[in-house]
Amino acid sequence: MTDTASDWRALPAGGDSAGYGPQRIVCLTEEPTEWLYLLGEERRIVGISGYTVRPPRAREEKAKVSAYLSAKIDRIVALRPDCVIGFSDLQADIAAQLIRHGIQVTIFNQRSVAEIFSMMVQLAAMVDQAERGLALIGQMRQRLLDIEQAARRLKRRPRVYFEEWHDPHISAIAWVSELIGIAGGDDCFPELAKEPMGKGRIIADGVEVVRRAPDIIFGSWCGKKFRPELVAARPGWENVPAVKNSQLFEIKSCDILQPGPAALTDGVEKLHRFILDWDAAHG
């Protein structure tokens, strides 16, 4: 006897599509979890990443079955998912193991703001929430346009160094670099932002950061607390404008380094607020 997820006779008729699409979803990263909650489709989620913090209630309601580079395969299989959603080539090994268990896996690989929106459109369609998804995306897009317009009124755009990791120094990934631009700043390392992997964005010599003289330094150390005093104490960095003017700020990785709704809302808002404050004091 087949279960409901695989029995076409159990699917609704008469134009009701609520029973179509995946009904038991495991999310291997935070952003699909957050998006499904925003879409009102959290009932479909049966498992999440242990790093999930948005929304907070997800940690209480859903089984935690994965980290980022590893997953509890047996536990995922036991949840009987009809779709597992992951992110990037970094989860390729997890995906391969699940596929060998006969589980459907969808891996998104969004690296830019446009690709984040595209992922959200596709996932909304998968759970029959295309219309609601487009409405929410429209609101986010409009807010980005409003922020971009406000940034045009800055007296001067600050040079921004965004540090994703401290040892070695790793600069901003593409969507973060784009959001810095939208918020009113200029990424000090735009040529590195196009590199999809962290190893491609390593700044081997910290003297190069000093040379590019950022006005603001943002730290988002992949879940580790940002320590501005350690950054300020780096040899030669005392002459960096951001250090001299105490413009070193943390933006939590859950707000900016997840390529989903958080980055397009809270993440860019925090970038913009810090840049506006800098402009008022130093522009």
| Range 53-62 contact pairs with CB under 8 angstroms and sequence separation of 24 or more | 53/254, 54/30, 54/254, 54/258, 54/261, 54/262, 58/33, 58/34, 62/33
Each residue's pLDDT, cut to its tens digit, for the chain (283 residues) gives 335 456 767 766 655 556 679 999 999 999 999 999 999 999 999 999 999 999 999 999 999 999 989 999 999 999 999 999 999 999 999 999 999 999 999 999 999 999 999 999 999 999 999 999 999 999 999 999 999 999 999 999 999 999 999 999 999 999 999 999 999 999 999 999 999 999 999 999 999 999 999 999 999 998 899 999 999 999 999 999 999 999 999 999 999 999 999 999 999 999 999 999 999 998 6
DSSP assignment of 183-221 equals HT-EES-HHHHT-SSGGGGEES-THHHHHH--SEEEE-B
Length of the chain: 283
Domain spanning 154-282, CATH architecture: 3-Layer(aba) Sandwich (3.40)
Place of tokens 């193991």: 97
Enter the tokens of residue 268.
């860019």
Enter the tokens of residue 218.
């943002």
pTM: 0.92
Place of tokens 């590195």: 192
Q: Say which amino acid occupies 282.
A: H
Per-residue pLDDT, 20: 79
The fold of the 4-109 domain, in CATH, is: Rossmann fold (3.40.50)
Task: Report how far residue 54's alpha carbon sits from residue 96's, in angstroms, rounded to the nearest whole number.
Answer: 27
Under 8 Å between Cβ of 6 and 102: no
Residues of the chain with CATH 3.40.50.1980: 4-109, 154-282
Q: Which of 202, 203, 192, 261 is nearest to 237 (CA)?
A: 203
Q: Give the DSSP H/E element, type plus range, for residue 84.
A: strand 83-87
Q: Give the DSSP H/E element, type plus range, for residue 159.
A: strand 159-166
